[in-house]
Amino acid sequence: MRESESLFLDVRGLRYHVRRWPAPEAPKLVLLHGWMDVSASFQFLVDAFERRWDIYAPDWRGYGLTDWGRSDCYWFPDYIADLDALLRALAGKAPVHLVGHSLGGNVACMYAGVRPERIAQLVNLEGFGLADTRPQDAPRRYARWLAELHERPGFRPYKSYAELAARLREGNARLSGERAEFLARHWGRDAPDGTVVLRGDPAHKIVNPVLYRYEEVRACWREVRAPVLWVDGAETAALKRLGLDDAQYAERRAEFAELRHVTVARAGHMLHHDQPEAVAKLIDDFLAR
């Protein structure tokens, strides 16, 4: 297992944790994790790379070892602003190779359109965007948001890290016991009452009151100049949850000027856990162009 180290940066008033797998003479590669995940989740992918990379993976605000946000809930534009500050700190003005999974892929794709000069090459792992919304959805969404602010969500407690690891394997049968235990140790933390809870801010579960405006997101995607590798898992359930059919999914990919689409066999949404060797080879080969 490739060893990592922890960096802590001041990012927009928060103490941000960045996990680094150092290789000082190698090209920089930045990895962005998904919702309810942490940077250590990329360990299996990092171990599978054949090319040498100087790898940086932040814990998003409110996750892992990064400070929790100081508002009632979390706002998507904050991830974009955090990423901009992180890339300035890690790479100056130099373009970077950027890989994002799920939430991280959505942030990466939007950022690459907002700041196209900052991205050399982009890899999107299961970052499909969200289901489109309608203006008439706004009253119910705001009402739900207000209700959730008054009835704050929490995380389910687990008796031990072993129980959390077992729960992870229930959700993903491809996880070995060893990998599930590794993830549990990084995803979980000790609670004051002796139980184990997820290492994140439960406020992430509060609905975003601002509707997802697909046309605005598409406008950002159209501005992406970097070559894009778009990767999904053959057994993902994410597209079904979003209600996207094949034509709608193809429409989203078509917004990018230069895109290669690959589907990884025997992999679900967490494809970097299911098939890290296959995903690592795709990334290695794509970035080596």
pTM (2 d.p.): 0.97
Per-residue pLDDT tens digits of the chain, which is 289 residues long = 999 999 999 999 999 999 999 999 999 999 999 999 999 999 999 999 999 999 999 999 999 999 999 989 999 999 999 999 999 999 999 999 999 999 999 999 999 999 999 999 999 999 999 999 999 999 999 999 999 999 999 999 999 999 999 999 999 999 999 999 999 999 999 999 999 999 999 999 999 999 999 999 999 999 999 999 999 999 999 999 999 999 999 999 999 999 999 999 999 999 999 999 999 999 999 999 8
Name the residue with tokens 């100081």: 70
Query: What stretches of 92-210 show up as alpha helix (H) in DSSP?
Result: 103-114, 138-150, 161-171, 177-187
- Sorted by where each begins, the domain ranges of the chain are 5-155+201-287, 157-199
Q: What is the pLDDT of residue 289?
A: 81
CATH architecture label of 5-155+201-287 = 3-Layer(aba) Sandwich (3.40)
Q: CA angle 161-167-172, nearest 5°?
A: 125
**Which pair of tokens denotes residue 33?**
């994790």
Sheet strands (E) in the chain: 5-11, 14-21, 28-32, 54-58, 96-101, 119-125, 188-190, 196-198, 228-233, 259-264
pLDDT digits (tens, 9 = 90+) for 59-105: 999 999 999 999 899 999 999 999 999 999 999 999 999 999 999 99
Q: Within the chain, what is the greatest distance between any pair of CA atoms?
A: 53
Nearest 10 degrees: Cα torsion 106, 254, 212, 153: -40
